[in-house]
Amino acid sequence: MAAVAEPAPMPAPEPEVLAAFEDAKGFMPRGEGLALYAAATEAAALGLPLLEVGTYCGRSTILLAAAARRAGVSAITVDHHRGSEEQQPGWEYHDPETVDPEVGRMDTLPTFRRTLHKAGLEDHVIAVVGRSPQVARAWGGALGLVFIDGGHTDEHATADYEGWAPHVAEGGLLVIHDVFPDPVDIMTGQAPYRVYLRALESGAFEEIAVTDSLRVLRRTAAGI
């Protein structure tokens, strides 16, 4: 009886990259971060940029940037840096340290820049400061990976999907974070879950990996 080949080990970031990820402000758990890095490493082999919607303070950007650096491509991250709905004052995920005392609003851009500087990855990231739908309308190129991790309302999650999924190249990856099928998780996961279902039902994407709330889909046909 022929021996069954062991699956190839999942690519892992360098120890210093993983340490920077774990030290950065943000919400992504280690296991999902490692899955994101593996997806980014695979997608970067297409020779196209990797794009993230929803930067916050740069925790996941570190992993995309490390994968981009290894492949010689760029990581692009899009955010208005004023915080999503659940990060505003009075909500569970609000962090007072991210509020600009002069203007009285959240501004995660300075923290994000410090995060990249400490990780030594500034040269591999293009930070776009703006609202995702506006940036998507101005975007013209194909992408090897789109990571949707922005606002969690149906309005914002749907706009991110409709704006960026069309730019995923053939064979490229669409990664969606905070996918929670349980209806009790209305704020954090139901809108991303509905976007995930829409992507599968479109016939344009097939699921290739699941790690907790992270879903990785590959483009196999045109459309969204």
Instruction: Give the catalytic positions in this structure.
Output: 152
Q: Are 93 and 141 in contact (CB under 8 A)?
A: no
Question: What are φ and ψ of residue 36, in 5° steps?
Answer: -65, -45
CA–CA separation, 74 and 70 (whole Å): 10
Q: Are 148 and 166 in contact (CB under 8 A)?
A: no
In what helix (H) or strand (E) does residue 16 lie, and over which residues does it extend?
Answer: helix 15-23
CA–CA separation, 105 and 89 (whole Å): 9
Q: Which residues pair with 49 in a beta bridge?
A: none
